[in-house]
Chains A and B, each alone.
Chain A
Amino acid sequence: DTAVSQTPKYLVTQMGNDKSIKCEQNLGHDTMYWYKQDSKKFLKIMFSYNNKELIINETVPNRFSPKSPDKAHLNLHINSLELGDSAVYFCASRPITGRNTEAFFGQGTRLTVV
């Protein structure tokens, strides 16, 4: 009954490969996000979707392509992986209504590119 779940939790892959990370939320939220947390623990927003529509794209290389088949899912596909892509990727969701609604985070996917 996990609220925001990501798979896989760990991902080790070689440079140049293509990989996907999946995210699902069972909270009925309208808005979902992808964040990247680098080695310095800085959590940076990458994308935001609202009801399957892209709302925020924070100048992320176009090797990163989010896909939202429905409002409960937001997947992240990464092409031609580079060493600098190594980080922890967090998915999050939030209901659209209510000013004080916080974002709920998944457990993270630790991506290591070798």
Chain B
Amino acid sequence: GQNIDQPTEMTATEGAIVQINCTYQTSGFNGLFWYQQHAGEAPTFLSYNVLDGLEEKGRFSSFLSRSKGYSYLLLKELQMKDSASYLCAVRDGGGGDYKLSFGAGTTVTVRA
């Protein structure tokens, strides 16, 4: 199974940068996803990492170190609309035998 840990809450100022860390332990790693979830809404996909390194997508970047079981999501130039829960998810297996396990999520509050 997976143990996925991420901080419960983070607060930052509009325009600032916030880094959300995620550590995991898994029996068969096959990719790590970050999702954004606004209150009362569905999770939406942000990024995917399967190889070590940094993936950049506009204001959002995600980093992975497989040897350390560690990832982070970096949110730059924070905007008020970035206030949401950010979910780290690890995929175990592939093809039809596909299990995506989520961490408990990090609630990010952006203040003016």
Contacts and interface: CB of A to CB of B under 8 A. Distances in A.
Contact of B31 (A51, A99, A106): A99
Interface in A75-96: 90, 94, 96
B33 interface: yes
B96 to A, nearest CB: 4
Most buried by A among B45, B96, B104: B96
A43 B105 contact: yes
B104 A105 contact: no
A114 interface: no
Interface of A: 30-31, 33, 35, 40-45, 48, 50-51, 53, 55-56, 90, 94, 96, 99-100, 102-108
B50 A56 contact: no
B98 A41 contact: no
Interface of B: 30-31, 33, 37, 41-45, 48, 50, 85, 87, 94-102, 104-105, 107
A59 B37 CA distance: 26
A57 to B, nearest CB: 11
Given A90-B43, A105-B44, A107-B41, A41 B104 contact: yes
A23 to B, nearest CB: 12
Contacts of A103: 33, 45, 100
Contacts of A42: 102, 104-105
Contacts of A100: 31, 48, 50
B42 A105 contact: yes
Contacts of A48: 98-99
Contact of B102 (A44, A55, A56, A108): A44
